[in-house]
Amino acid sequence: MTAKPAKSPTLTASKMSIKVKLTVWFTLVTFILFVAVQGFMLIIDGASVVDDAGDLLVSEVQRNMKKVSEGENGKPDVGAIKFSSNGVYISVYDKGGRFLSGAVPFELEETFQSGVTRRVSGPEGGYLLYDSYVELSSGGVWVRGLTPADSSDTLWETMKNLSAYTLPLVITLGALGGYLVATGALKPIRRITEAAGAINDGNDLSLRIGLGSPGSHDELQKLSDTFDSMFARLEKSFNDERRFTSDVSHELRTPTTVILAECDYTRKHAQSPEDYKMALEVISRQAKKMSRLVESLLSLSRLDLGTVKANFEVGDLSEMLTVICSEMSLAGSRGITMCTDIESGISANMDVTLMSRLIQNLIDNAYKYGRDNGSVEVALRSEGRFAVLIVSDNGVGISKENLDKIWQRFYQEDSSRSGGEGLGLGLSMVKQIAQLHGGSVAAESAPGQGSTFTVKIPKI
């Protein structure tokens, strides 16, 4: 039994699902916004209430000031004054500050200042105070106004009461909104997870997420597309791998079967040394084929895995091609002749071994699939920044529908054409080597007329 790994604290901390986190955040932000807006309103309203109260105070004092007149017996007449109006208390004092008449909410020891609004504190909070002096021949009088300044306290109370009802509603709406937004936003992720899980459980790489909302280019759509193309690539490479394994088994089974059958037959029926010699020749031919196959497979898989660290060096491609052509033209068969047109002095940064294999494979094919007494042409020229190698023959050619398949491993249009020599791996190797050199290879062909293979690699 394997022990369960201890849970790390960071994992525990992030246990909350993203949906819950988003909902909590949304609720929190809504709450903070609500409080901020309430506070802001309170400040704005509070200030404007004070401003309004101040204006009212001044206008009430000034209105009542006009009602002060010269009285009989040398005393000012203040009888017309309204001592309490619109929440403003008005009182009148003589020049020396002695109270004459009026309404005062509390005792106030405050020196008189004409035309200045001040804040004073009373027993039940702040008040605004405003004095104005009226000059009379019988002696001046002070008209004093007082009004409560902290009406914002009542506003605060109102807001508190209001919040008691609205806050739970706002929080509930915030939480609900957060939950809905999170659920909607995370829906595609759930689909991605489900699809990936289904692929994992069922081992079915042909499944796709396919969020497929046309015109949508958001991040999740891109993520889903990336996953889908990754699944497509995985599916292709698994299929290729499967086909390759089955092809390899098939290719190895044929010579193995022939060898076993030959051994069996010889054991039972061979009588003379000639019989044994013939059997050995068959076995040797099949063993050589197996050996070539294994060799080629090894080279290909090393190229695939990148374990063949290509040994790049600047080399004279023209010279290398000339040497290979002269060697291979000597080994030519079936009356096939070789013509060369090699531009001299073309160099490239190349792996000499791999590049010679590329050239040999192409010339080998041109001979194998060439016409009896036909010709093979090999040319090398420089085109822009590329060295262009062309190998053509006037042999059997390749049908148009099969032209794309010749690069696939183990593809052989007709194995009998190569006299049982072909493995179907040569061109796949040619393509890989050309690409390794930063180049490309293309084929043109017409059945019965011949084929032309063109390799382009960057030259020096």
- Candidates 123-131, 247-255, 272-280, 366-374: pick the segment binding ligand ADP (CB under 6 A): 366-374
Size of the site for ligand ADP (CB under 6 A): 23
d(CA 389, CA 115): 105
d(CA 249, CA 391): 32
Closest approach of Cβ 319 to ligand ADP, in Å? 24
Identify which of 93, 90, 196, 200 has the alpha carbon closest to the alpha carbon of residue 147. Answer: 90
Residue from 59, 221, 418, 454 touching ligand ADP (CB under 6 A): that is: 418
Closest approach of Cβ 209 to ligand ADP, in Å? 37
Q: Among all chains, which residue has been given the structure tokens 């008040």?
A: 127
Closest approach of Cβ 318 to ligand ADP, in Å? 22
Question: Strand runs (DSSP E) across 176-334, as ranges?
Answer: 313-316
451 near ligand ADP (CB under 6 A): yes
365 near ligand ADP (CB under 6 A): yes
Identify which of 99, 106, 66, 98 has the alpha carbon closest to the alpha carbon of residue 82. Answer: 66
- Candidates 135-143, 220-228, 247-255, 361-369: pick the segment binding ligand ADP (CB under 6 A): 361-369
d(CA 388, CA 373): 27
Looking at beta carbons only, is 341 or 404 nearer to ligand ADP? Answer: 404
d(CA 460, CA 455): 16
What are the angstrom distances between the C-alpha of 152 and each of 33, 45, 123, 125?
21, 7, 16, 11
Closest approach of Cβ 1 to ligand ADP, in Å? 53
178 near ligand ADP (CB under 6 A): no
d(CA 208, CA 17): 25
432 near ligand ADP (CB under 6 A): no
Query: Helices 352-368 and 426-436, interaxial angle, to 10°?
Result: 150
367 near ligand ADP (CB under 6 A): no
**Residues 374-413, interacting with ligand ADP (CB under 6 A):** 393, 395-398, 406, 411-413
Q: What is the DSSP string of 297-359?
A: HHHHHHHHHT-S----EEEEHHHHHHHHHHHHHHT--TT-EEEEEE-TT-EEEE-HHHHHHHH
Looking at beta carbons only, is 179 or 410 nearer to ligand ADP? Answer: 410
Looking at beta carbons only, is 38 or 360 nearer to ligand ADP? Answer: 360
Closest approach of Cβ 196 to ligand ADP, in Å? 38
441 near ligand ADP (CB under 6 A): no
427 near ligand ADP (CB under 6 A): yes
d(CA 253, CA 248): 8
**Which residues make up the interface to ligand ADP (CB under 6 A)?**
361, 365-366, 368-369, 393, 395-398, 406, 411-413, 418, 422-428, 451
